Amino acid sequence: MIELTSLARPYAKAIFSAALEANEAPSIENELDLLGQAIQTDQINKIIEDPELSKTDTAAKLAAVFEAELSALTKRLIDVLAENGRLNLLNAIFEIYQELLQEHNDQSSIEVVVASKPSEESKENIINKLQALHGASANINFKEDASIMGGMFLKVGDETLDLSIKGRVKKLVNQLNF
């Protein structure tokens, strides 16, 4: 399967640049979020994958479904994506767009993966320490993944810090096999 991120990046950069020029960056983010969620539904997928519809008809149908919610910029993006057969990239475009917007606003996005839900006190402590390091405007999201067995896994932008039990065991196994 082709990595969607590399295909989506030029589109995300183009729409982001156009949104900044039009001073519509936050509203375009909401529109892309709506479209990203919509293409995961069966109804919208039927429109996108309908072999009887031409590329322009597909774009027109999508624009009609979201007529009231989409700006001219986003409708143009749909046209370009449909023309190039890339409507499946909408979710990846949204994710990249979000990163670009956060960079533009000097915000960092931090993902904290824990084995089980932390207590409110622990969660507050983690948030305070991360905000002290990365700024008070940092977006901190917690996810649960029992496979890490304990500890936590941090992802800040492109950097990761594995403080999980699973990561430590893997490191130990690698050292023993070397």
What whole-number distance in Å separates Cα of residue 75 and Cα of residue 78? 5
Q: By C-alpha distance, which of 135, 83, 107 is closest to 26?
A: 107
Fold entry, domain 108-177: Glutaredoxin (3.40.30)
- What tokens does 173 get? 């196994």
Q: What is the percent of the chain with per-residue pLDDT over 70, rounded to a whole number?
A: 98
Residue 48: the pLDDT is 82
Residue 3: pLDDT over 90: no
Q: pTM value?
A: 0.60
Instruction: Read off the pLDDT of residues 4-36 as tens digits, 9 standing for 90 and up.
Output: 788 889 999 999 999 988 888 889 989 888 888
Q: What is the DSSP letter of 147?
A: G
Instruction: Read off the pLDDT of residues 128-151 as tens digits, 9 standing for 90 and up.
Output: 998 888 778 788 889 999 999 999
Q: By C-alpha distance, which of 25, 6, 4 is closest to 103?
A: 25
Fold entry, domain 4-103: Peroxidase; domain 1 (1.10.520)
Domain ranges of the chain: 4-103, 108-177
The enclosing H or E element of 94 equals: helix 90-104
